[in-house]
Amino acid sequence: MKIETNNDTYISNKLITWYQTNRRELPWRETTNPYIIWISEIILQQTRVAQGLDYFNRFVARFPNVQALAEASEDEVLKYWQGLGYYSRARNLHTAAKTIMQQFGGKFPTDYSDVKSLKGIGDYTAAAIVSFAWNKPYAVVDGNVYRVLSRLFAIETPIDTTQGKKVFAELASSLLSHQQAGLHNQAIMELGALQCVPQNPDCTICPLADVCMAYLQQNVSDYPKKQGKIKTRNRYFHYLYIIYKKQTTWIQKRQDDDIWKGLYQFPLIETEQPCEWEALSQMEEWKKVFQGCGKITVQTISPVRKHVLSHQTLYATFYQIEVENTGDLSSNYQQIATDELDSYAVPILIHKYLISLDL
Ligand code: SF4
């Protein structure tokens, strides 16, 4: 599908003029430092600006450059990321910082393909870094850009298909101002964030209203087109907050290629269906956890906490359990003092539970 973009200079000029008076003042916009741009882009991929700003400020205060990030421990990086979700992004940032130190002599690469070779950096982030930092002519395509372009050109191709990705990437490239690539990219993303919002945009004040096909056709809400919803699955987590003599507990680090890899958690039993305590305590896994622990007393069972992720919904229950002996616990899990729990990076779900206990 070839889309005509006769208005390309017109559109780019309009976007940039609009951006210069409407843009938000944000710390990562006042710099051409690729490291700062990189961190801000990764944080903003998963969170709103208002929420991400605090994380960004704390993260760059502690890790102000590639070297500081590369030299930190993964646990500390994850701790600074705690609450943002998508923890693989933090691990990838850490890995990529080490790669920059080892393969690029500590200097952020300037070549698009070198930037894209870094772990966790895809087309979008590489284009954002090289265009914002060095004005290189690579067009960004994020959710905001998909929305703006799909409406501007009334594109019927669904954005969540291989064909859609190709169509939108080509269109974004053809519209890009090569002289002002960084500004153009910032402008179209900002237009999507502030003006061409998902629900009920006020098209009467849009700088592109006169060339926007969806607006002219009065069917803005029909775009962007999507192929279909992604299936989500339900998971049932039973966390065992085991306490010995009021001051010792056990945690484990998540190692598998699954959500929250590298974060800490209480010993966990996962079931495929909802499971009440009576059934849970009859399971082999439960018996294995408490092997040799003597008398076990369940002190509290939390209400089920629902936690929605992009492709799965978790239903978590926390069991606070007193044990008579430590049994095999310290062989299978990491033993710590209960008052140290706060120093480990944990999923926000567990963090909220700990806050509810007022530890
Ligand atoms: S006219 Fe409306 S739909 Fe078209 S780009 Fe502007 S805000 Fe979006």
Angle CA(288)–CA(293)–CA(298) in degrees, nearest 5? Answer: 90
Overall size of the chain counted in residues: 359
Burial 168-206 (b: 16+ CB within 10 A, else e): bbbbbeebbbeebbbbbbbbbbbbbbebbeeeebebeeb
Q: Are 32 and 133 in contact (CB under 8 A)?
A: yes
Per-residue pLDDT at 229: 65
Q: How far apart are CA 293 and CA 127, in angstroms?
A: 56
Task: Give Cβ neighbours of residue 77 (< 8 Å, ≥ 6 apart).
Answer: 63, 69, 90, 91, 93, 94
Distance of alpha carbon 135 from alpha carbon 112, whole angstroms: 11
263 CA → ligand 1 middle, Å: 42
Question: CA-to-CA distance for 31 and 27, rounded, in angstroms?
Answer: 7
Q: Distance from the CA of 332 to the center of ligand 1, in angstroms?
A: 57
Structure tokens given for 138: 């690579």
Pairing verdict, β 312-323 and 233-244: parallel
Active site residues: 41
- Quote the CA–CA distance of 193 and 208 in Å, as a whole number: 15
Element at 89 (helix H, strand E): helix 87-103
Dist. CA 232–CA 249, nearest whole Å: 33
Cβ–ligand 1 distance for 214 under 6 Å, the answer: yes
Of 155, 195, 200, 202, the residue with max ligand 1 atoms within 8 A of its CB, to mutate for a pocket test, comes to 195
Task: State the closest ligand 1 atom to the C-alpha of 201, by its place in the atom list counted from 1.
Answer: 7
User: Does the Cβ of 196 fall within 6 Å of ligand 1?
Assistant: yes
Q: Give, using CA atoms, the residue closest to atom 2 of ligand 1.
A: 203
Backbone CA torsion sign across 50, 51, 54, 58: negative
**Mind listing the pLDDT tens digit of every residue in the chain (359 residues)?**
445 555 458 999 999 999 999 999 888 888 999 999 999 999 988 788 888 899 999 999 999 999 999 999 999 999 999 988 888 999 999 999 999 999 999 999 999 999 999 999 999 999 999 999 999 999 999 999 999 999 999 999 999 999 999 999 999 999 999 999 999 999 999 999 999 999 999 999 999 999 999 999 999 999 999 987 667 899 999 999 999 999 999 999 998 889 999 999 999 999 999 998 889 999 999 999 999 999 999 999 999 999 998 789 999 999 999 999 999 999 999 999 999 999 999 999 999 999 998 75
For residue 359, the model assigns a pLDDT of 54
Pocket perturbation via mutation, ligand 1, pick of 15, 146, 196, 221 by most ligand atoms within 8 A of CB? 196
The closest residue, in CA terms, to atom 8 on ligand 1 is 196
Decide: 324 and 294 in contact? Cβ < 8 Å.
yes
Q: How far is the CA of 23 from the centre of ligand 1 (A)?
A: 17
Q: Indicate whether residue 212 lines ligand 1 (CB < 6 A).
A: yes
Name all domains of the chain by residue range, CATH numbers in brackets.
8-222 (1.10.340.30), 233-357 (3.90.79.10)
What tokens were used for 300?
């509290």
d(CA 309, CA 307): 7
Calpha distance 260→235 (Å, rounded):
14
C-beta 79 within 6 A of ligand 1: no
**Which residue's CA is minimally distant from atom 1 of ligand 1?**
209
Of the chain, the end-to-end C-alpha distance in Å amounts to 59
Look at ligand 1, atom 4, and give the residue with the nearest C-alpha: 212
Reference 215, options 153, 141, 146, 167; nearest CA is 153
Please tell me the residue having the least CA distance from ligand 1 atom 7. 196
130 lines ligand 1 (CB under 6 A): no
**Residue 165: closest CA among 192, 143, 136:** 143
Among 190, 192, 218, which Cα is nearest to 204's?
Answer: 218
Would you state the pLDDT for residue 249? Answer: 97
What's the one-letter identity of residue 208? Answer: L
> What is the model's pLDDT at position 2?
45
3-state secondary structure of 119: coil
Phi-psi region of 327 (alpha: psi -120 to 50; beta: other; left: phi over 0): left
Contact assessment for residue 317 and residue 304, using Cβ atoms and an 8 Å cutoff:
yes
Residue type present at position 130? V
